[in-house]
Amino acid sequence: METKLLLFNLWLIYSTTASPTREQCEDTGTELSCPEQRLHKVPKVSLQNKIELLDMSQNDLDELYKVDFNEYVYLVTLYLNDNSISYIEDDTFENLRELDFIDLSKNLLEEIPDDIIINNEKLIILDLSENLFQAQTPTLTSKSLEVLDLSQCKLTQFSNDSIVNLPNLRLLYLNSNNLMTLDHRMFSIPTLFYYVQIEFNPWECSCNTVKMLKHLIDKDMFEITHPISCVDDKKSHIHIYDKNGPKMCKTKRKVKEEVTTLSNDIDQDGYEDIKPQEYLFKR
């Protein structure tokens, strides 16, 4: 009896998730909302149904394929967040030419195809936050993308390659990753770029970090809301920049004005590189 009951329960779970239908979703005609339905697949619809918004958040999706969206050619807004997606086929979104928003946050992606949004020429916002990219930083291509969220992705690197093919990028979120260095010069590539969020990263304790922060702040590309810390060789967190300015490095002019100075080399940009353990930081 117990075995029969177990088999029936397994069949019940399979029958409600393996072949999802529109009846499991809230359907307004142009919007199909299916959150928290334990769905493993995207529901099938007819091409006659002009679905503009699809909400598949908080389900059990683990892989995405082009065939999943064959009937969603009118789609404008797509929520795929809070699933277990670890694989996306290269041309999954190829036919979704009206898309302007995709939320893929809170999934298990370790990599994503470079050309995944190349054909979505109306796409404005892509949220990839809270995935597992680490060293596999996405290098996307899109002429239209304006907002890219890569926060909390465990990123260990971010370079020119990551945005060189995003000429219209304006907002970039890199906060709460594992970045130690960042070349501020890359942000001159997108001609309309104006803001990057980089707080809560384990920055390298060096004057290069201070110069990067100062440049972004001076250009109004970054605003400090919390003191910025670096991580030294002993894994200690040290404040190096806050709303009042740098706490770690000094320019040549300021060094000359000091009665007591520390004997460290001054780099070519006019910053004296002061080791954290030798400097009295303002906490």
Can you say whether the dihedral through the CA atoms of 258, 259, 262, 264 is positive or negative?
positive
Sign of CA dihedral 90, 92, 95, 99: negative
User: What percentage of residues in the chain have a pLDDT greater than 90?
Assistant: 66
48 near 72, Cβ under 8 Å?
A: no
The two beta strands, 195-197 and 171-173, are parallel
CATH of domain 27-278: 3.80.10.10
Mean pLDDT of the chain: 83
pLDDT of residue 83: 98
One-letter amino acid identity for 160?
N
Please report the pLDDT score of residue 185 as a whole number: 87
- The dihedral through the CA atoms of 267, 272, 277, 278 has a sign that is positive
Closest CA to 208 of 230, 190, 188: 230
- What pLDDT digit, counting tens, does each position of 185-230 carry? 888 877 789 899 999 999 999 999 999 999 999 999 999 988 999 9
Task: Name residues whose C-beta falls within 8 Å of residue 238's C-beta, 6 or more positions apart in sequence.
Answer: 205, 229, 230, 231, 232, 248, 276, 281
Tokens of 53: 């918004």
Domain ranges in the chain?
27-278
Structure tokens at 32: 């199909």
pLDDT band at 261 (very low <50, low <70, confident <90, very high): very low
Q: How far apart are the first and last CA of the chain?
A: 68
- Residue 161's CB: how many other CB atoms inside 10 A? 13
Residue 12, Cβ density class (10 Å: 0-12 exposed, 13-18 middle, ≥19 buried): exposed
Q: What is the pLDDT of residues 86-128, one digit of tens each?
A: 999 999 999 999 999 999 999 999 999 999 999 999 999 999 9
pLDDT beyond 60 at 10: no
In the three-class reduction of DSSP (H, G, I as helix; E, B as strand; rest coil), residue 251 is classed as: strand
**pLDDT tens for each residue of 140-182:** 999 999 999 999 999 999 999 999 999 999 999 999 999 999 9
Please count the CA atoms within 13 angstroms of the CA of 205 that sit on its side-chain side. 21
Write down the pLDDT at residue 190. 79
Q: Please tell me the predicted confidence (pLDDT) of residue 21.
A: 52
Beta-bridge partner residues of 87: 63
Residue 219 CA to residue 132 CA, distance in Å, equals: 31
Q: Is 2 a residue whose pLDDT tops 80?
A: no
Distance CA 1, CA 272 (A): 78
Over 50: is that where the pLDDT of 67 sits?
A: yes
pLDDT-derived band at 263 (thresholds 50, 70, 90) equals very low
What does the pLDDT read at residue 277? 36
- Write the burial class of residue 181 (CB in 10 Å: 0-12 exposed, 13-18 middle, 19+ buried): middle
Q: Tens digit of pLDDT for each residue in 15-52?
A: 344 445 556 799 998 999 999 999 999 999 887 789 99
What's the CA gap between 225 and 136, in Å, rounded? 28
Q: Would you say how long the chain is, in residues? A: 283
Structure confidence at residue 5 as a pLDDT band (50, 70, 90)? very low
